Structures are given as structure tokens and as C-alpha cells.
Amino acid sequence: MTVVTNEGYWVGSAAPAAPHVDHRQVLVMQLSPSVHLDTFCRDRLPPSGQWPEISFDLPELRYPTTVNCAVALLEDTMGVHGPDRPCLRAPGETWTYRELSRASNRVARVLTEDFGLVAGNRVLLRGPNNPWLVAAWFGVLKAGGVVVTTMPLLRRNEIAVIAEATDPVLAICDERFAEELDAVERTTMATVLYGGSDPDDLVNLCAGKDGEFDAVATAADDVAMLAPTSGTTGTPKITMHFHRDVLAIADTFGKYVVKGNADDVFTGTPPIGFTFGLGGLVVFPLRCGASTLLLERASPTELADAIAEHGVTVLSTAPTAYKAMLAAGKAKELTGLRRCVSAGEHLPKAVWEDFRRQTGVRIIDGIGGTEMLHVFISAADGDIRPGSTGIAVPGYRAAILDHDGNELPDGTPGRLAVRGPTGCRYLDDERQLVYVDGGWNITGDTYVRDADGYFWYQARSDDMIISSGYNIAGPEVEEALLGHPDVAEAAVVGAPDEERGMIVKAFVVLADAASPDPAKAAELQSFCKQAIAPYKYPREIEFIDALPRTSNGKVMRYVLRRRPRAVTHPPVA
């Protein structure tokens, strides 16, 4: 095992004997010398005593002290698989690995020669999933810059919060998404657009550069990217990820669970600005020499058609998309898939079983997080147990803890905690003390581990509803509601109640043909009582047109909790 400690790196089967070191509290305190001339990121790392334990239990995780992840993903892959393989696919065009390498080199030259970028400067990226966004991501990293990833659907105020926290010197933006960015008042941030006809368009500037560039030899633990959390509980936190972290997600979840190969074609719906999308659509395919189909926007029907048309074999999307493609009658278009990855929300067992029945494909469920960069609990193939999130991904260790940090016995619900080669580092944020506890990353989820090491999701820790002394997991009630044919979407929260302390309240989006009336509410309540224990049924149901979601599709339950109390239909006793 390799463990990062206050004395540097230990490499070997075990740490050397050192009685003064408490292995339960091994913390990162020493970093490699940085090449960043702009020390903004190094200066804002959490204090060393607040870091989670970082371990490198697999040989492939022992990276050299100097590594640029852009070079490792692109040029190193070209050296193994060749430069003329398809790399980036999009409707109407295909880029080879050589073409992406040269385009990203040109971006790096524009950044350093025309904009004076120095190593450590932050560059904000804004745009939909397309080849030039990927070229910009690689170009920034090759130039020694730090990528600030953002969702293309963010609005002015949301972008302003991220820009204020990360202080980018430059923004690279698709011209179609420039309006909201233009409204952000920052005198220290220049902007370069791409996709237009202006002479100063990034694509035109790149045309004036040759395709050669010597990438900056960054330290493995130099910050490569600043990724904002999705903000499901309010103000986003900014997570900090090293160059080695980007490679680590490919060499753990990508290698051992997704198991991509050079003949695969990847695609998915999550934006590259979301770490789930970055891993599934860029990092994993390029690490193994595969190609990726980039779709700027796709309805469930369009996604299924694109999968069939382009011979996609690996898909990453959310549970709702899998359900929606089946509902659109597109099962036949999905039978060429060999790997389907689901994350972002809990995958209902009914959706997994229905997808398996209609397509023959077993969806790979997983839990990850922006703080950890990607998925750390999952299972594939014959190891899948429908309804369970899975087991710890090779390279990671997971446990269930009580509120005092003690490990709980199997079968007991508690806080999910994880350790591995990646870990939480918030940018200058006191909330680091909440996420990291005793060297563990505390995800904010309530789970149960069974005797075989499988983890079973109960709820987000703040979604556990205690009603009349009963612990009720909101997602379990949601899954029961989703079993009714008239329910398109459902979200469950706790609502204050004088008699019971809290009651279960459901917000329901009905299918088009259903009527939102008291009779339907009573029908759904009775349906739930038949599917789950009667005490768990939603005592209040409110029909709404759409659930509030973040830009990457997560339901914002905190928004629902704050809604004025409006019981559309009287509760059933």
C-alpha cells in the first residue's frame, strides 16, 4: 500500500514501522514542489490537518511526481494506440487523436502567447459538450493552467459566485452561451469566444498557430481543476483536484468497473462541466484509446437514436433517462450497449429490472461525488445486486460510521464514509471540517452495509424523515410512488407536523393523461400502503408541474422543503 503522510510517500506492501504514526489519522502534510507561478490554488488548499487520508492501494495509482494529466490522457494514449484512431465524435464530424492533440496544443499557444497565461492561472470554461470544449480543457492543462469547470446552463448570478471564488484570469466560452457570462462584472477576467466568425474567435486564433507545444511539466499534486459542487443545498463549494486525481478515477472505476477498451464508443448526457460527465465522456474513453460521442443536447428519443446510429457501447446518464428511453419505446435501439452507468440519483430497482428485461443490459449503479471526483462504490456484471449501490471500487475503502466516528456493524444504518486515492479538498471553505472526519470523507448519505460488503442506500442524511419515532427514507417512498403508472416523477421530503413531529410529504409530477385531483392523491396513498409499510406512506401529496433541479439534473429537495405549505389535496388519515 502507498500512503501519503507527513513524511511524504510510502511505497510498498505496507507502511514502514513507525510507532509515532497513528495509521487511522495519516494525513497529507507534504506536497511536491509546484511549477505554478500563480500560487492561488496552493495557497488556498485546506490546512493539512483537515485533509482526508489518501491511499494508493493499486500499483497503477503510483504516479510519478511529475505528470500532466492532459499529456497522459492524450499523447501517452496516442503512443500506445496510434494517433489516427477516432477520438471525438459529434454530429457531422469526427476528430482523431492527432487532431485533438494539435488543436489542444494550439489552444495552449493562444493562451500563453496571446493572453499571457502562466502556470497556475485559472481559466473558466463554459459551453455544451462539443469537440472545442474538450480541446480547450486539454489546452488549459497543457499550458499549466487550472480548469474551472462550469455547467452551460448556469445563469449570471451562479457564474458570478464561482468566478468570485476562483478568480479566473480568462473565460473560454461558446459564443451561444456568452450572454450570461457577459453580464458577470469582473474586470480581472478576459473572455475569448469560440464557434463564431469573429477574427478573435478562439478557432480563428488557433488557425494562426502551429500544432506544436511543450506541455508544462506539472507536479502530480498540482491542482488541475476546480470543480463546483452542484449546489443541491445552496451555495456551491469549490472542490480542488490534482493531476493525479484525474488519472486515478480512470485507473479505478474506469478500469475495474466500466472496463473500457479501444473499440468502445462512449456517450452520455451529463455535461463535461459536471465531474460525472468529465469522467464518463472524456477521461475514461481517452485513457483506454476509445472514442466518445459528444451530444450538446438530446431528448430521450434522440439519445436512443444516436446510440443506435453511432454504435455506442458505453452510456453514462441518470436513472430518469433510462426510464424515459424505455417509455419512448426505444429499447431496440439500446441493445448494442454493453455498459450502462447510472449516477447522480438513486437508481430505483424497478428501473433496473425493467431495463434489463427489455434490453438485456445490466445498468451499473454507482455513488460518487464532486468531492471525490467520481464513483467510489459500484458493481458490474454478475456482481450486481439490484437495489444495492454495490461494493467499494478497487482502490477505495468504505465504511458505515456513527456520529462519533465509530464503525457500525453490518445491517445498521449510518453515515457513509470513504477513503481512497482521491479525497475532499475544498477551496478555502470552512465546510471542509464537515466533509472530512477522522481521515474519512463523509458523503452525507445514510447507508447500510450487508455481510457481503454490499452497500444499500437509505437516503441523503438530511432526507431521513423521523415521524412518530419511525425512521423513513424519502427515496424508498419515492420508489413506491414511481411504481404507479400515472407518476412521472416524485420527490419526498419531511414536513413539520405538530402531532408526529414530521410527516412524509410527496411532490408528484403526473403523466400527461392523469388528473391532479383528490381522488388521484388518495389512489396514490393507497398504492404506497400496498408497496411499503403503511406508516411510510405520504400523508400529504402536492401535485406540481416539474421538480426543481440543478443544472446537472439533481432534485433540489431543499427548495421543496422551503416552499410555502400548500397541501393541494387533504392528507388521508
Model confidence pLDDT, tens digit, residues 505-527: 999 999 988 999 999 999 999 99
Nearest to 455 by CA among 347, 542, 560, 377: 377
pLDDT range class, residue 530, cuts 50, 70, 90: confident
Q: How far apart are CA 134 and CA 125, in angstroms?
A: 10
pLDDT tops 50 at residue 16: no
Number of CB atoms found within 10 A of residue 73's CB:
21
What is the pLDDT at residue 418?
Answer: 98
Is pLDDT at 234 greater than 70 in this prediction?
A: no
Region 490-502: mean pLDDT is 83
Q: What is the pLDDT of residue 29?
A: 44
Q: What is the DSSP code (8-state) at residue 380?
A: -
How many CB atoms lie under 10 A from the CB of residue 213?
Answer: 21
Distance of alpha carbon 447 from alpha carbon 453, whole angstroms: 12
Say whether pLDDT at 23 is over 60. no
pLDDT at 24: 32
Q: Find the mean pLDDT for residues 215-220.
A: 98
pLDDT level of residue 188 (50, 70, 90 thresholds): confident
pLDDT of 463 > 80? The answer is: no
Q: What is the pLDDT of residues 259-304, one digit of tens each?
A: 999 999 999 998 999 899 999 999 999 999 999 999 999 999 999 9
Give the least confident one: 21-30, 402-411, 541-550.
21-30
pLDDT at residue 27, rounded to an integer: 37
Residue 346 clears pLDDT 80, i.e. is over it: no
Write out the three cell numbers for 43: 495557497
pLDDT attached to residue 187? 74
| Mean predicted lDDT score pLDDT of the chain | 89
Tens digit of each residue's pLDDT (9 = 90 or more) over 364-408: 999 998 999 999 999 999 999 998 999 999 999 999 999 899 999
Q: Is the pLDDT of residue 456 over 70?
A: yes
Alpha-carbon distance of 170 to 522, in angstroms, equals: 55
- Could you give the CA distance from residue 129 to residue 135 in angstroms, rounded to a whole number? 11
Given a cut of 80, whether residue 470 has pLDDT beyond it is no
Contact status, residue 68 vs residue 87, Cβ threshold 8 Å: no
The angle formed by the CA atoms of residues 50, 51 and 56, to the nearest 5 degrees, is: 160
More confident residue, 151 or 5: 151
Q: Is the separation of the CB atoms in 215 and 68 below 8 Å?
A: yes
pLDDT value of position 337: 98
- Residue 348 near residue 300, CB atoms below 8 Å: no
Q: Check pLDDT > 60 for residue 128.
A: yes
Does 233 score more than 70 pLDDT? Answer: no
For position 12, what pLDDT does the model report? Answer: 28
pLDDT of residue 567: 56
The answer, yes or no, to whether residue 532 has pLDDT greater than 90, is no
For the sheet with 391-392, list strands across it.
Answer: 93-96, 86-90, 291-293, 265-268, 314-317, 339-342, 363-368, 375-378, 391-392
Whether pLDDT at 108 is above 50: yes
What is the structure's pLDDT at 25? 33
Across the strands, what pairs with 419? Answer: 397
Strand, coil or helix: 333: helix
| Distance from C-alpha of 434 to C-alpha of 442, rounded to nearest angstrom | 8
Could you say which DSSP state residue 34 is in? P
Highest mean pLDDT among 71-75, 147-151, 511-515: 71-75
pLDDT in tens, 80-96: 999 999 999 999 999 99
CA dist., res. 158 & res. 310, Å (int)? 35
181: exposed, middle or buried (C-beta count within 10 Å: 0-12, 13-18, 19+)?
Answer: buried
Render pLDDT for 350-367 as a digit per residue (tens, 0 to 9).
Answer: 899 999 999 999 999 999
pTM of the model: 0.81
User: Cβ(250)–Cβ(58) under 8 Å?
Assistant: no
Collapsing DSSP to helix, strand or coil, 17 comes out as coil
Confidence of residue 551 (pLDDT cuts 50, 70, 90): low
Higher-confidence residue: 313 or 512?
313
Lowest mean pLDDT among 104-113, 224-233, 526-535: 224-233
Outline which parts of the chain fall under CATH 3.30.300.30.
Answer: 468-562
The beta-carbon contacts of 532-536 under 8 Å, at least 24 apart in sequence, are: 532/476, 532/477, 532/480, 535/467, 535/468, 535/470, 535/472, 536/470, 536/472, 536/476, 536/477, 536/480, 536/504
Q: For the chain, what is the largest distance between any 2 Cα atoms, rounded to a whole number of angstroms?
A: 73
Has residue 26 got a pLDDT over 70? no
* % of the chain residues with pLDDT over 90: 72
- What is 69-456's CATH topology? Rossmann fold (3.40.50)
Question: Residue 568's pLDDT is what?
Answer: 52
Per-residue pLDDT, averaged over 153-171, amounts to: 89
Distance CA 482, CA 488 (A): 7
Model confidence band, residue 469 (pLDDT cutoffs 50, 70, 90): low
**What are the DSSP E strand ranges found in 195-296?**
223-228, 238-242, 265-268, 291-293
- Structure confidence by residue, pLDDT tens digits, 54-69: 999 999 999 999 999 9
468-562 topology per CATH: GMP Synthetase; Chain A, domain 3 (3.30.300)
Helix (H, G, I), strand (E, B) or coil at 467: strand
Per-residue confidence (pLDDT) for residue 2, from 0 to 100: 39
Question: Can you tell me whether residue 24 is helix, strand or coil?
Answer: helix
| Among the ranges given (17-31, 141-155, 171-185), the one the predictor scored with the smallest mean pLDDT | 17-31
Residues of the chain with CATH 3.40.50.12780: 69-456
DSSP state letter for 390: B
Tell me the three cell numbers of residue 212.
506544436
| Contact assessment for residue 540 and residue 515, using Cβ atoms and an 8 Å cutoff | no
Q: Using CA atoms, how far apart are residues 307 and 321, in angstroms rounded to an integer?
A: 13
Instruction: Give the containing element (helix H, strand E) for 213.
Output: none
